[in-house]
Structures are given as C-alpha cells and as structure tokens.
Amino acid sequence: MTFDESSTARPLVFAHRGASAAYAEHTRAAFMQALADGADGVECDVHLTRDGHVVLIHDDTLDRTSDGTGEVADRTLDELHQLDFSSWKGVRIPEAYGAKSEQFLTLEELLEILQGAGRPVGLAIELKHPNPYQLKLEDKVLEVLAEHGWAPESSVVDNISVTFMSFSTDSIQHLLRLVPPNFLCQLVHEVDLADLRQDHGLGPITGGAVANVLRAAQLDAEQVLDDGKVLLAGPGIDYVREHARTVQRWMESGRRFRVWTVDSENDVALCQGLGIHEITTNKPAAVLAQIGSQEAYPACD
C-alpha cells in the first residue's frame, strides 16, 4: 500500500461517534449529519447487549447518554430501545433524521445508513474493553459484518470500507487471527494522572493505581506498533503532542495515522503539518472547511 504524500493531499475526515458536536453521539441524527457534512467516514464504539446484539454506545453504562441507568450489558435490545438517547443533548432533531425513538442504533442499522450514502464511506469500529463478554464482542461484530457480505481480504461491505480499533492489545491480537493488519488500528493514549484524578474523582492512592494500569496498557499498545503488527496507529492528539519522536518513528516505519479527537483549528493544522493520514473529529464540517478541497489520502486497501 502506498500513500500520496504530496502537499496537495489532505487527511481523511472521520466523524467521531457521528457529527457529535451537532447531535447526541452515536445517534441516527449524528451519523446522518456526518454524511451530509461530507465526512469521509464515521467512527463508532460497540458493546454487546444481554441478548447478544451489537449496539452503538461509548460507555459501558447508560447514565451519561440516556435516561436510563446501569450496565449496557445487563439490558436486552428491546429494553434499550425504550430509553431516550438523544434528549440529553438539548438539540431538536430534524424530522428527516428520524424520531426520538429511532435514534439508538445497532451495528446493522448503522450499516444500512451508510449503505444509503450513495458514495464510498469508511467505518471505523472501536471494540470497547473491558466488558463482561470479553472477546465474544469481536466475534459477534465479525459475524454481523459477514452476514452483510464482509470478507477479511477486502474488509468491504458494499460501499463501506471497514476498519477495527481498540485500546486493548488482546482485542487486536484476537482480530489478527481473521483480519489483515492493514485494517486494524491500535489505539494509544497519553496517561495524565492529574486529569485522571479530576475527571473521575479519584484519590491519590486509587488514582495512582489506575494510572499504573493505564500506563501498562499504553506500553503494550506502543509495543504492538513498534513491532509493526498492525498498519494503523491511533494516538490521541495529546499523545501526538507529547511523543513527537515516537510518532516520527512510527511514521517512518510505514504506520498509517488515525488521530483522535481533533476539533480545534490549531490541532487540525498540527495534523496537516505532520502528514497525518486520518483525523477523527466531532466537527467534520468545520474540519473539512479548514483543510479545503484537496484530494484526500487514499483509504486502506
């Protein structure tokens, strides 16, 4: 696989959980707006329900993004469909984007939305860990995709190019048994103890213990990329700023970069200056307007 590294090439723009600055994340409205904005692809997070359905939600609990509470894994799909996943955003949903009851999505429903785009589009699926079903999540995702015509050698469903991502190296290693490395993205993030304590209300002892676990996961992810086991490197924008030498080393060794979550004009400019291939953003329309109409870097193949 080769990339067009000329100055006229622009990064591919992936909508983070859909156009989630405009509408509630992971909703039908957010994904339909992302397509309307012209996003090259969309990113989603997946969990399994109690009755084995792949659903789109970031957290392992319902409290932040719905009017429900408790664990996603403890609910059936029918139970989840009774909840409101969009009103917390406080934004009116246009009639064309579906009713409030239609906003919560399964992976199959997202595929149907993307198939209706009328153009090629990317789908980046993040496998969320830890979860009570462990690597059964990966198996079920591949099963759902296969039912829609997905094959590992192309990783395409109709007009949709599919890639897989995880912070979990166990997930990546499991997927490598069936998925070629050019369709796999090892996610990696910068661990900041102060932010960790503030965001989660952790004390010094608990915060330190959690930070140690996350740092170990960071080292494992870095090793996967150092070893060249997968093509795609998925660092957060904070990681890109803090680890310039590592980013340069991975880029020189042929890793393709998908950086998240890039919303500010300064961060978009930084990514362009570094030659980042893919930007994940909550604001696809704004990012596309900033980077202009140059030819995009080619997608993975």
* pLDDT in the model for residue 68: 98
pLDDT tens string 54-102: 999 999 999 999 999 999 999 999 999 999 999 999 999 999 999 999 9
Q: What is the mean pLDDT of the chain?
A: 92
Is the model more confident about 198 or about 111? 111
pLDDT for residue 5 is more than 50: no
pLDDT for residue 191 is more than 60: yes
- Residue 47: active-site member: no
pLDDT tens string 79-89: 999 999 999 99
Separation in Å, CA 110 to CA 81, 83, 86, 148, 267: 15, 18, 16, 12, 28
Is the model more confident about 296 or about 155? 155
Share of the chain above pLDDT 90, in %: 85
Separation in Å, CA 52 to CA 78, 141, 266: 12, 10, 42
- Residue 16: active-site member: yes
Confidence of residue 196 (pLDDT cuts 50, 70, 90): very low
Contact between 94 and 86 (Cβ < 8 Å): no
Separation in Å, CA 250 to CA 227, 239, 278: 10, 13, 15
What is the rounded CA–CA span in Å between residue 286 and residue 293?
Answer: 12
pTM of the complete model: 0.93
Contact between 169 and 186 (Cβ < 8 Å): yes
* pLDDT in the model for residue 193: 54
- The CATH code belonging to domain 12-291 is 3.20.20.190
**Rounded (10°) angle between helices 244-252 and 204-226:** 20
Identify which of 145, 171, 172 has the alpha carbon closest to the alpha carbon of residue 156.
145
Give the active site residue among 47, 58, 129, 174: 58
Give the active site residue among 16, 26, 47, 129: 16
pLDDT for residue 141 is more than 50: yes
